[in-house]
Structure 1
Amino acid sequence: MKYRLLVLAGIILLSCQSFYAQEEKSYLDHSFTHVVYFWLNNPESAEDRKAFEQSLSKFLSVSKYPKTKFIGVPAGTPREVVDGSFTYSLILSFSSKEEQDLYQEEKAHLIFIEESEHLWNKVVVYDSVGILKT
């Protein structure tokens, strides 16, 4: 009986560690964020959107430097201070500026740009380093 309780406690402990490890991955790394806004040439084209999304997803699935990854579209929040004119947003976090520098030269990143740059007419990037952990 004592053995079964120890095994059960071990399973619960491992499950909790696994859960918290997965949970931890979903939090934004506060060290460095790379925020990119894309304006597609033909934002109404389902074919262009599909091509862009597939290329971006393929790239992010193999990129080894970002700690967290977010792909978004305008949220439809019409307020004077909100710019919803972009087609897609990409928000990545990195553990350091040095990791982000490596990402910029990463083969997967360069292939994504080569594959997709014909789809957009404007890209704006905002890079930030964290000063406070919330």
Structure 2
Amino acid sequence: MKTRIITLLLISAITTTGLAQTSDDMKTFDPAFAHTVYFWFKNPDNKTDRAKFETSLKTFLKHSKFAKTNFIGTPPVATRDVVDGSFTYSLIVTFESAEAQEGYQTEEAHLTFIEECKDLWDKVIVYDSFGIKQ
């Protein structure tokens, strides 16, 4: 039940907010390994910084040899105390395995993205997780 709720929330978020892939590019979500990243920008309201980040991130994900699916999001207006909307962007990327995620960390497209955008953020937090069998 919890997995269904999370899946429905993710689908809802992809279709209503953020910068998710278009339906033509959408691949099936891979539950094997998820890499979730939160970015806090130095200047979160700077439109130039945001445009640079979005362009670089989209280019990186388009050229990644390891990322299977992805979701780029921004925080909604929080309506509950348990919702942390303090971040500037979130990124969820799925992989077929932990080994694929390790390859992603050192691939040229990922390293280029970091180099292009590292001066934009104050803080980055990563949560990696294995999917559990249903």
TM-score range, shorter chain: 0.7 to 0.9
Counterparts in 2 of 1:16-95, with a 5 A limit? 26-95=27-96
Instruction: Tell me the C-alpha RMSD between the 2 structures.
Output: 1.5
Greater C-alpha radius of gyration: 1
- Percent identity reads 55
Which whole-Å CA distance do the structure 2 matches of 1:83 and 1:127 have between them? 18
Return the letter of the residue paired with 2:29.
L
Secondary structure of the structure 2 residue equivalent to 1:80:
coil
Which whole-Å CA distance do the structure 2 matches of 1:91 and 1:132 have between them? 19
Listed as ranges, the gaps of 5+ residues in structure 1 are: 1-21
Moved over 2 A (4+): none
Higher fraction of helix: 1
Which residue in the other structure is 2:99 paired with? 98
Q: TM-score, normalised by structure 1?
A: 0.78
Q: TM-score, normalised by structure 2?
A: 0.78
Which whole-Å CA distance do the structure 2 matches of 1:90 and 1:26 have between them? 16
Secondary structure of the structure 2 residue equivalent to 1:26:
coil
Which residue in the other structure is 1:126 paired with? 127
Deviation at 1:29, TM superposition (A): 0.7
Q: How many positions carry a matched residue from both structures?
A: 111
Which residue in the other structure is 1:12 paired with? none
Which whole-Å CA distance do the structure 1 matches of 2:81 and 2:73 have between them? 20
Listed as ranges, the gaps of 5+ residues in structure 2 are: 1-22
Which whole-Å CA distance do the structure 1 matches of 2:54 and 2:41 have between them? 11
Deviation at 1:77, TM superposition (A): 3.1
